[in-house]
Amino acid sequence: MASYSDKVIDHYANPRNVGSFEKGEENVGTGIVGAPECGDVMKLQLKISDEGVVQDARFKTFGCGSAIASSSYVTELVKGKTVDEVEQIKNSIIVEELSLPPVKIHCSVLAEDAIKAAVKDWREHHEKKKDGSAAA
Amino acid sequence: MAAALPSESERRIPCWRCRQPNPPAFFCPNCEAIQLLPSNADYLALLGFAGRPGIETDELQRRYYDLSRRLHPDRFQTGSAEEQRASVRASALLNDAFRTLKDVESRGRWWLERAGDSLGRENNQVPPRLAAEVFEVQEKLAELRAASGSEREALQSETRGILEALSSRLGDERAAVQSTLEEWPDASAEEEPLGEARSRLKQLLSEISYLRTLERDVRRALEES
C-alpha cells in the first residue's frame, strides 16, 4: 500500500469544501471527470464572478484517499484566482504539495482535468448569458 | 496502431536448438525443443488462440493444464541448462498468460493495450448518465450512514436492491465485453471496424470500472450500517 503524506491524510480526514452548490445557482461551472483505470469519479464546482474570479468551490469525489485529497486541496487553491490563472494550474503543483507517490499521480491529473472541465462549463454558460443579455 | 497486431504475432524467433524461425510457441514445431521466449510474447498465440480474443474459458483452462504439465521444471531436471532455464521462464509466462486471459475484463484490458490503446488514454469523460447514477447512489449511501432506527432499515433494504441491480448489470457488461471480443474484426480488416471495436471495448471496460467502484462502496456501506 502506498504510504500517504501528512497533508494527504489531513485533507482526507478533514476534506475542505465538500458538497455541491444549489441546483440552478448562477455563475457555477461544473466539471465531472473520471479515471477509468481505477473507477474514481470527481465532481468539481467553481463559483465564478462575472469578472472571472473564482469566489468559491465545492467538490465531491468518490475514490481513493489521494483523489479526495487532491480535489480538496484544489478547492482551496483556486479561490481568489482568475479563470485564466486557474486554467494554468498543472497537476505537478498538486503532486508537490501533497507529496503524492508515482502510483497516485493520476489522481492529481484527474483534479487538473476537473478544474479545466469546470471552467469550460462556466465559460459556455457565461457566453450564453452574455449573448442573451446582448440580445435583450 | 492496429497494424502492429499481425506483425507482432507473426514475428518469428529462431529455435535455440534447430535454428528454425518460429512464431511464438512453447515448443518448436520442428524439433520439439522447449523454447526460450521473451517475456512480452503474445499470450493468445502462446496458447494457440492467435488473434482470437473471444476465447472460451473452458478451452483455455484445458490448454493451460496440459501445457503446465508439459512445461513443468520437474520434467527438465535431467535436461540441458537451456532447457531448464526455458522451462522456468515458460512456466512463469504460462501462468501470467492464464491469469490475464481467464478473466474477461483483464483479457479485454490486455487486448486493448495490444491494439496500441489503453483504458486511461484520452478517456476522462464519465458518460453523463452513469455519472448521475454514481452521484445518486452515493447520495443514498450518505443517507444510509446517517440514518437510524426504522429509517435505517428501510434504507438498508433499498440499498440491497441497488446492490443486486449493480451486480446484475456488471454481469451484463461483462457478457458484452465477451461478445465484443468474440466478434473482433479480423486483423486484416479495415481501420474503421477495428477502431469501432476498440472504442466499444474501451467504453465497456470504463463503465465496468466505474460500476465496480460503486459496487464496492455500496457493499462497504451495507457492511458498516
| Domain-embedded: residue B111 | no
Q: Are residues B46 and B89 in the same domain?
A: yes
**Inter-chain contact B206–A34, Cβ cutoff 8 Å?**
yes
Distance CA B223, CA B225 (A): 6
Residue B8 has pLDDT above 90, yes or no: no
pLDDT, tens digit, 9 for 90 and up, residues B133-170: 999 999 999 999 999 999 999 999 999 999 999 999 99
Residue B125 has pLDDT above 80, yes or no: yes
Q: Are residues B22 and B66 in the same domain?
A: yes
Q: Are residues B21 and B79 in the same domain?
A: yes
Strand, helix or coil at B164? helix
**Element at A100 (helix H, strand E):** none
**Full residue range of the structural domain in which residue B52 is found:** 8-102
Total count of residues recorded for chain B: 225
- The pLDDT, as a whole number, for residue B190 is 86
Q: Are residues B171 and B78 in the same domain?
A: no
- Residue of A57, A107, A114, A117 marked active site: A107
Q: Are residues B176 and B87 in the same domain?
A: no
CATH of the domain at B79: 1.10.287.110
| Domain-embedded: residue B1 | no
Q: How confident is the model at residue A11 (pLDDT cuts 50, 70, 90)?
A: very high
Whose CA is closest to A16, among A39, A48, A44? A44
Beta-carbon pairs below 8 A across chains A and B: 53
Which residues touch B164 (CB under 8 Å, ≥6 apart)? Answer: none
How many structural domains is chain B composed of? 2
**Best mutation target, B112, B130, B199, B213, to test chain A (most A CBs within 10 A):** B213
Comparing B5-9, B23-27, B86-90, the range with the smallest average pLDDT is B5-9
| Domain-embedded: residue B108 | no
DSSP 8-state code for residue A16: S
Q: Are residues B213 and B127 in the same domain?
A: yes
- Per the annotation, the verdict on A38 as an active-site residue is yes
Q: What is the CA radius of gyration of chain A?
A: 15
**Does B135 lie at the interface with A, CB-CB under 8 angstroms?**
yes
Q: Are residues B132 and B95 in the same domain?
A: no
Amino acid identity of residue B214, one-letter, is: L
A62 → closest Cβ in B119, B123, B138: B138
pLDDT, tens digit, 9 for 90 and up, residues A82-103: 999 999 999 999 999 999 999 9
Q: Are residues B220 and B128 in the same domain?
A: yes
Strand, helix or coil at B173? helix
**Does A80 lie at the interface with B, CB-CB under 8 angstroms?**
no
Strand, helix or coil at B210? helix
| Domain-embedded: residue B117 | no
**Does A29 lie at the interface with B, CB-CB under 8 angstroms?**
no
Q: Are residues B52 and B146 in the same domain?
A: no
Residue that is written with C-alpha cell 465532481 in the block: A43
Distance CA A80, CA A53 (A): 6
B119 → closest Cβ in A37, A40, A62: A37
| Domain-embedded: residue B115 | no
Distance CA B175, CA B45 (A): 23
**Inter-chain contact A62–B212, Cβ cutoff 8 Å?**
no
pTM for this prediction: 0.87
- ipTM tops the 0.90 cut: no
